[in-house]
Amino acid sequence: MFLSNSTSRTVPFFLHLRSPLRRLASTKSLKETIEEVIPVKQAHLKKLKTEYSDVSIGDVKVGSVIGGMRGLRAMLWDSSVLDPEEGIRFHGLSIPDVQRALPAAPGGKEIIAESMLWLLLTGQVPSAEQTRELSRELAQKGNLPTSVASLIDSLPKTLHPMTQLGIGVAALNHDSSFQAAPCNYSKMLGYGDNHDLTEYLRLYISIHGDHEGGNASAHTAHLVGSTLSDPYLSYAAALFALAGPLHGLANQEVLRWQLSMLREVGEEVSHDTIREYLWKTLKSGQVVPGYGHGVLRNPDPRFIALQEFCESKPELLNSPIIQLVKKTYEVAPDVLKEHGKTKNPYPNVDAASGCVLYHYGLTEFKYYTVIFGVSRALGCVTQLVWARALGLPLERPKSYSLEAIEQLAKSGSP
């Protein structure tokens, strides 16, 4: 999603969207739109610095310092905010809002990555014409260099797909571009003739595109980008963070758990049978994969969007694994509430996402995180653009030793 100019210096892709004429708002290019939005954001940031620099918006507790900074309000991330009750909002728009507002692909119903990218970058809903033009621009500049293709082909076949993706993206900083159009992506996966899977990938990539800035992959891209490192390298770093089992592997674990249940109880499964399996999982000391969330306290709107997609497709309604996901959702929250050890007994997006991919024949579990990584490009790239536009500084928090933390806590000194 970043392109190289003739001097091999990598620049944001929108700088290549040249147009000498000013047009109506509904037909302006992405570059023209961003040119108008940047001064407004810069003025807003200047006002915050001038009027509120000394205002506190939260207290730093010892638990936050030694607990991975969870919940610490210490980061600017303008395109999305994660609300515990309502879920993710993109420039104030909820998942249902963006599904209604953003243009879909021709012949489809689901929003596509290009329209979500436009929203994340500008805070504005693009017209259908603007979305199509952006798709054409990206497709024209989306050829994979022979050198990068050869590099990937030379890697050991047993190397994890996420490692291969990170290596390939990092190599793109030399002279190439990143192709994120999901319709082209399904063709690359070998499923180009499957319209329903293409639709699912459009939805999946768009709603996974951004999820606030504090998650590991987004934060890593922001941190590396704050050094003015090349955008490809910043995004590659984010991919390697996403590859960690505590971040990007959740939907694989859900699918394994659901398949294990399916093998044990069979396809004709009842609510009572699922309830028994849930208690068996919990009593063994395991968690129920796909349920609970570090921030959310209600069902994840992204999960609901995927469920609605499944309910619109007759073949998914007849799929044993998809039906098991639905029935588990009908039972699990009450079981988890009764268990009493889960702050959020509701499903997150991973409770459904991998199971749909499995139904469509994508059974290579290790590859699921790669699709997640392609999705996360939208949010990471957006913030890299805005960090440069706003001139955000190098991220450099202060660190303390265990002894120093104890001394500060005892003295109550800042």
Q: Give the residue numbers annotated as catalytic, written as ranges.
A: 247, 293, 350
Span between the terminal Cα atoms of the chain, in Å: 43
Q: Which backbone phi and psi does 407 adopt, to 5 degrees?
A: -65, -40
Q: How many residues does the chain have?
A: 414
Which regions of 264-370 does DSSP assign to beta strands (E)?
A: none
Structure tokens at 341: 């050890």
What type of residue is 333? Answer: P
Q: Are 111 and 204 in contact (CB under 8 A)?
A: no
In angstroms, the CA 328 to CA 339 distance is 16
Structure tokens at 311: 């309910």
Structure tokens at 353: 């996402």
Please compute Rg for the chain using Cα positions.
22
Q: 3-state class of 11 per DSSP?
A: strand
Q: Are 3 and 16 in contact (CB under 8 A)?
A: yes
Q: Which backbone phi and psi does 3 adopt, to 5 degrees?
A: -120, 160
